[in-house]
Structure formats: structure tokens, C-alpha cells
Amino acid sequence: MKDIALLFFFCFCLVLVSLLREANAVSQEKNDGVYIVYMGAADSNHQAELMSSLIRRKKDAVVHSYSNGFSGFAARLSEAEAKAIAQRPGVVSVFPDPILQLHTTRSWDFLQYQTDVVINAGSISGSDNSSAKGADTIIGILDTGIWPESESFNDNDMSEVPSRWKGTCMESHDSSSFKCNKKLVGARFYDGSGDRSIRPFSTARDQNGHGTHVASTAAGNPISGASYYGLASGTAKGGSPGSRIAMYRVCMSDGCRGSAIMKAFDDAIADGVDVLSLSLGSSSGLEPAFSSDPIAIGAFHAVEKGILVACSAGNDGPDAGSVVNVAPWILTVAATTIDRDFETDIVLGGNKSIKGGGISFSNLTNSPVYPLISGDLAKSGDDDLSEKNARSCNPDSLDGKKVKGKIVLCDNHDGEYSLSMKVEEVRSKGGIGFIVVDDNARTVAPKFKSFPAAVVTEKDSNEILSYINSTKNPVASVLPTVSITKYKPAPVVAYFSSRGPAYNTHNLLKPDITAPGVAILAAWPANDTREAVAGQEPPLFNIISGTSMSCPHVSGIAAIVKAQNPSWSPSAIKSAIMTTAIQTNNLKAPITTVSGSVATPYDIGAGEASPSAALNPGLVYETNTADYLEFLCSVGYNKSKIKLISNTVPDDFSCPTDSSSESVSQMNYPSIAVSNTKENEITKVTRTVTNVGQEDATYTASIKAPAGLEVQVIPIKLVFTNNSKKLSYEVSFKASSKPKEDLFGSITWTNGKYKVQSPFVVTTNLESV
């Protein structure tokens, strides 16, 4: 993920470098930058006093105020003012307003096909069961806005908006055209900014496309005949088409401001959403502590109010420890492929065919009649550096006389220049076609539009180079892209999907789950000429990739589960999705990464989300607020600070005397992570499960453990009755020797009908590393 421009080109929503305001403390003091004053559950009097004193000194100081789900405000402050306010009673933290970034049809059919247990699941299985369709659940989406005219958001045949909905459709500069309806029940926008040079949008209308794509993936109506210029044709549909959508536009041209994200959380809690979906976040390694993380703060209070929050895991993979949005109250979503490939064939002389990838509407003939050259043979200079740059088709590296009228083969391993810049180098020098060598890009279908182009793997490029070197006049052609379905293997972990372990939290297994996030077709703004193919109208549906796309898949599943089980807590819904996940691909083999290695829970969490099975999980792990409060203890917060954060803290609450990162392992979470494992030392954790299936049922545990790790479950059987719906068990881990690497396994409870699986990881003794 080092080449940011490349990722933007073919994964529109992939994350950019996070611009945290801590790096600009000096400019903030000079320019009255925006700070967030977080006051947790403090009473409104403290908040009002602080805001009033600021407004008296500076009329436009306050940018946003928070009063529904939590207390606080965002204001233009000097550094000195921020430090002074941080010492005031009732203030949890004061921190510079961060700028976060976006983590940017067939996928739902593929998820259903992969599901082991077929249960009536509405839109996913074809049932008319309204609860399974997510009817009347409300999915709140924090993103770039929405295109309300898209057919994905029409309200044909929808019932009246539930009376519990308290939100609004904000008036904007285009109110005459922007209309909410019974599908799109609410739309808010947040233009407050510390940078007054940024022009306010003053509308919830999507100027980017990302929010529209996300919203339709989560809850769009079924639209037949959808495609991207004929590719991926079929019925585009959201996971929960019966759900309502509430859009909260928190992103502007400079990114997604933390102060706006917190205001959106605050509003959404009061509006009455059931699920919140955020396909945005910080960059790997830069995720702040809870007290200065807008997403973690907002999500904590939303979950306290019974709202499930799903967030993208980030696009900084495949590096280990790159996952973000890791707070335990967040459902963190990684990304995988589906069984569809966009194949762009390359025909060489002698009619040898190479199966490339990417999306190109090539107008070249099917016959290989166009001269073919590798970049290094078309160098413009004579030294070694010139040859190296030309091999990669970097800017100003090619000789136009050697390239004109030819198809050029280029490497893409240096990461110094974007794919779009390399295409432009070939095009500007008169080249008529482009073949790029990139194993990762081959998996995500970069778009080249009308320019004849394809992506090939390193292995296939060797065959092309061998052909070039074996003949005096090599020729080739690049054919138009075609969609291939039932592609195998699938799913495969997307190379860009961020990986565990959780940054600075070694006893919490993240990500939680994975879902389709590669080359996903979904609704798009109808006026986006940037995405239009030459000579064509802008597309109504677009194909993009990222954990931004996987997150709304899980949000849609969560809405379906919520509709069928309205009394379930967010943690019960999270558990249902995690413990019913799938770990195998369509070859009935373990899910793998792009490199072919077996995926671990650091790659996919509990596995690939299963829409049908999540409706009937059998047992659930309920993580309550007390678990989360003890988590805050373990990361350094004391009782007084925690009581400021949450108004649900019992009077007799106190942090455990042995509170540490190790105690996080005891949280009643659907997965298990233990660290600092020592040779022949036993580590024990306890879990409690609640029976939500058959009233009288006996579950038996089965253990999958790696060599060198002894795992024991006590008791091995759980007998549930009408009077015994919650039961606990203990798991002990003992390594026969100090692990040289992290050890993965699983514990599965079964009763013949349900299978409830929890992944675990036992990590190396960190103290001796």
C-alpha cells in the first residue's frame, strides 16, 4: 500500500495518509485550529458553561456541539486555550480535530452460495419474509453523502416511515432537487471546518460516489439490468433492501473531520438508527487512544444506546498490525474477493492467449497484429537508471519513436509512480496499448476505460517476455474485458485488506469478520463524468474496491439480524455474525491470501460473513458495558475518568486490582486472544454463552489446536434448559515450548443443528522478544 496514487486509481476508496492535526500544533495556535472537547457523559451544565465562556470571547468559536449521546463540543481554540480547558472539571480529553480518510450485486449471491446453512433470508434467499429483508430497520451511514435519485433508493411499495424515527432531511442549497423518501428517511451534512478555505457543500448530495456506493451495498433496492457499461450485468441489490437509509455526510474534499464524525454519531443516536456503518478511519499505526479517537468515542456511546457499529478495517495490508477501528465495541470488517473475475485477454503472435485482468473497453482487433515491446527496450536514455525507469514505464522514461503504434509491457514493482502515470507515459508517447505486471493489481480489476490495457501476473509476464525475446517482430492484441463468474478460488483475502494483530492491543483479536470488498458493483452518482467512458454517459453503477465495500455488506447483514431479533443487543448481533462465519472457499478448501497461504484470523477474523446462518446462531456471546469499562481500565483509565465517559457506571464499580492488557482476554468476546505465553505455563480464560436457539439443547465442544499447544475446555458439554439459558466454560492454553510465532485455532460448540465457532490466537511471549 505504498503507492497511494496507484491505489486511488484502481481502488477509488483506498485509504490515503492520515493527516492528524498533532503534526500541526504550531499552525493551529496561529490559525485558531479546531479542537474537540470530549466530556463523556457529563451533565449539560458543565458543557453549557464552557461553551458560553468561549462564545463570549469569540462569537464563532463553537463549530459543533454534542448533547444527545454524549457531551462536548468542537471549537476554534488556540493551543493554550485547549490546554486550559483540558484541566476543567468534567472534561475527559481535548484533542486537535483529526482528518480521517475513506477506506475505499454478485457479492450477495456469492455469500449465499457459500453459506453452509440455508435459512430463509429474505432478499438473499428469495423469501418474502419481511423481517428477513430487514424491514423497518434503519441503517445510518457516515460517508460522502448520497445520490437520492438513484433507483437503488426509490421507495416504491415501502410502508410509512416508522414513528420511532426522529431524524430529518436537512434543507440545503439544492433542496428543490434533493428529496428524502420512505427509503432514504434522513440526510444530514456537516460543513463546520477549521479550514475556512474549504468551500461548504451545504448539501447531503454525494459529490464523490463513495457514499452512494456504500449505501446501495448495504440496503439498496434490487435493480435488474444493472452493469458497468455491460460488465458485471445482473441484478444489483443491497443486503437488506427492506431497511431504511439515513445518510450523514461527514466527508468533504479535504477528508472526513473527526468533529463532524462525532456530531453525526450524536445526531444518529437521537435520530433512532439501528445500525451505523462507517467505511472510513485513520491510517495504519496512527490510530489514536480512545480518548482522542472520534470513531471509538462515538461508537462507544452508540453501542451503549443499543446501536451496532460496523467499521472498515483499513486498506494498509498486507502488513501485519495494520488493522484500525479496533475498539472492542466496534465490528471490524476485512475484505475478500468474490467468484467473479474481470478477464482481459492478451493474444500473442501464434495465437497464444494470456488471461490478464483489469477493465478495458479495448477497440483493438482480435488478431495479434500490433507491435509489442517491453519498456526497457523503449528506453529514452543509455544508462542503467534509464533502463530501470523505462522497464517500469515511469514518466519521461520512454522514447516516443520506439513506442509509437505499439503495445508496451511495463513493470509495476517500484511503487514510486502510480499506475495512471505509467499509462499516461505510454499513451503520450504514442503507444496504443498497455500491459502492466502486478500480481496484486491483477486481483482488484483496475479500470483503464477505453484505452486497451491489461494487468498480468509475474508468472504470465515471463511468458510474454520469452515471446518478445524469441522473435524479431513480436505482435499482440489486447481484447475487451469480459466478466467471468464462478471463478475459483474465492473468496481470497484482498491484498490491501488490513491485518491483525490489533495495534497496541495484543489481547483482542481483530479484524472480527470479512466480507466481499473487491470489484463490487453498486449505485453511483449519475453526473460523474470522471468515471464515464469516452463517448458514453456517466455510469449509474460503478465497480470499486476496498474495505469500504466490505463494511456495508456486514452492516446489511446486521440489519437483517436486528429485524428478526429486535431485542438483541449489538454484541449479540456481532456474535451471531462472527460465530456463524465461513472459513472455506468454493473449492471446499481453507480461505487463502493472494499469495496462496492459508488465511489466519489476523487476515479474516472469524471468517467470511454468512447472511443466512447469522439469523440462527444457536448461542451468542454477549459483551456488556461492564466488559467495555474494564477494557478501559486495562488501557489505563481510572474510575473517575471512566465515570466521566459513561453514565451507566455502577456506584460500586472499580477497576480490577490486576487490570492489565492480559485482562482483556477475559472480556466475554466471540473470539479469544492471549499473549505473553510462557513455556509450560497455563493461561485460562472464561466465556459465557446465551442460548437463543432450541430451549432444551446440549452442546459439545470440539477443539482445533496447532501442534505444540495444548487446549482444554471445561466443561466439554453445556446443557441448556428453560431455567438455564446462560452457561459458562473455561479454556486453558498451555504451550509445550515458547511459541516462535503466533498460534491459531478454534473452539466450536455443536448440538447437531447449530455450529458456534470462535477463533483463538496465542501470541509469542512479547516480554522476551
Is 548 a known active-site residue? yes
pLDDT tens digit sequence for 519-541: 999 999 999 999 999 999 999 99
Residue 266 and residue 150 in one domain: yes
Mean residue pLDDT of the chain comes to 89
| Residue where a domain terminates, one of 79, 97, 115 | 97
Residue 335 and residue 355 in one domain: no
Catalytic one among 97, 136, 143, 206?
A: 143
The residue with greater pLDDT, 489 or 635, is 489
CATH label of the domain that carries residue 184: 3.40.50.200
Structural domain boundaries enclosing 709: 619-623+668-768
145 located within any domain: yes
pLDDT-derived band at 9 (thresholds 50, 70, 90) equals: very low
DSSP secondary structure letters along 604-635:
HTT-B--TTGGG--SEE----HHHHHHHHHHT
> For position 16, what pLDDT does the model report?
30
630 located within any domain: no
478 located within any domain: yes
> For position 191, what pLDDT does the model report?
85
Residue 432 and residue 541 in one domain: no
Q: Which residues pair with 93 in a beta bridge?
A: 38
Average pLDDT over residues 723-747: 91
Q: List Cα–Cα distances, 72 to 51, 95, 172, 257, 282, in angstroms.
A: 9, 12, 26, 16, 22
pLDDT tens digit sequence for 323-346: 999 999 999 999 999 999 999 999
Q: Has residue 129 got a pLDDT over 60?
A: no
**What is the DSSP secondary structure assignment for residue 590, as one 8-state letter?**
B
Q: Has residue 757 got a pLDDT over 80?
A: yes
Q: Has residue 625 got a pLDDT over 80?
A: yes
C-alpha 290 chain-centroid distance: 19
Total tally of structural domains belonging to the chain? 4
635 located within any domain: no
Residue 355 and residue 333 in one domain: no
Residue 351 and residue 249 in one domain: no
Cell output for 95? 484533542
Average pLDDT over residues 348-359: 95
Q: Has residue 24 got a pLDDT over 90?
A: no
Residue 48 and residue 144 in one domain: no
> For position 661, what pLDDT does the model report?
67
Residue 146 and residue 291 in one domain: yes
The residue with greater pLDDT, 314 or 381, is 314
List the strands of the sheet with 99-102, edge to edge. Answer: 251-252, 255-257, 99-102, 280-281
> For position 60, what pLDDT does the model report?
85
Residue 262 and residue 307 in one domain: yes
Residue 167 and residue 301 in one domain: yes
| Among the ranges given (49-63, 109-123, 703-717), the one the predictor scored with the smallest mean pLDDT | 109-123
> For position 503, what pLDDT does the model report?
79
Is 143 a known active-site residue? yes
What's the CA dihedral at 421, 422, 428, 429 to 10 degrees? Answer: 150
Q: Has residue 743 got a pLDDT over 90?
A: yes
Q: Which residues pair with 726 in a beta bridge?
A: 690
Catalytic one among 103, 210, 213, 301?
A: 210
Residues 219, 692: Cα–Cα separation, whole Å: 26
Phi–psi pair at 120, nearest 5 degrees: -55, 115
Residue 238 and residue 318 in one domain: yes
CATH label of the domain that carries residue 44: 3.30.70.80
| Residue where a domain terminates, one of 75, 97, 119 | 97
Q: Has residue 21 got a pLDDT over 80?
A: no
Q: Has residue 626 got a pLDDT over 60?
A: yes
Q: Has residue 11 got a pLDDT over 90?
A: no
CATH label of the domain that carries residue 359: 3.50.30.30
> For position 394, what pLDDT does the model report?
96
> For position 117, what pLDDT does the model report?
34
CB count, 10 Å around CB of 271? 21
pLDDT tens digit sequence for 183-227: 999 999 998 655 555 566 789 999 999 999 999 999 999 999 999
Residue 500 and residue 554 in one domain: yes
pLDDT-derived band at 130 (thresholds 50, 70, 90) equals: very low
Residues 91, 72: Cα–Cα separation, whole Å: 8
> What's the predicted TM-score (pTM) here?
0.92
Catalytic one among 93, 548, 571, 675?
A: 548
Residue 321 and residue 359 in one domain: no
- What lies within 8 Å, CB to CB, of 657 at 6+ separation is none
- What lies within 8 Å, CB to CB, of 98 at 6+ separation is 18, 19, 20, 21, 257, 258, 282, 288, 292, 294
pLDDT-derived band at 648 (thresholds 50, 70, 90) equals: confident
299 located within any domain: yes
Q: Has residue 734 got a pLDDT over 50?
A: yes
Say if residue 385 is exposed, middle or buried (CB neighbours under 10 Å; 0-12, 13-18, 19+). Answer: exposed
The residue with greater pLDDT, 174 or 84, is 84
The residue with greater pLDDT, 202 or 166, is 166
CATH label of the domain that carries residue 684: 2.60.40.2310
User: CB of 524 within 8 A of CB of 147?
Assistant: yes
Residues 279, 294: Cα–Cα separation, whole Å: 14
58 located within any domain: yes
Residues 713, 711: Cα–Cα separation, whole Å: 7
| Residue where a domain terminates, one of 484, 508, 524 | 484
Q: Has residue 146 got a pLDDT over 90?
A: yes
> For position 614, what pLDDT does the model report?
95
651 located within any domain: no
> For position 381, what pLDDT does the model report?
87
pLDDT-derived band at 755 (thresholds 50, 70, 90) equals: very high
Residues 722, 565: Cα–Cα separation, whole Å: 19
Residues 197, 132: Cα–Cα separation, whole Å: 47
> What percentage of the chain has pLDDT greater than the value 90?
75
User: CB of 249 within 8 A of CB of 564?
Assistant: no
> For position 17, what pLDDT does the model report?
30
150 located within any domain: yes
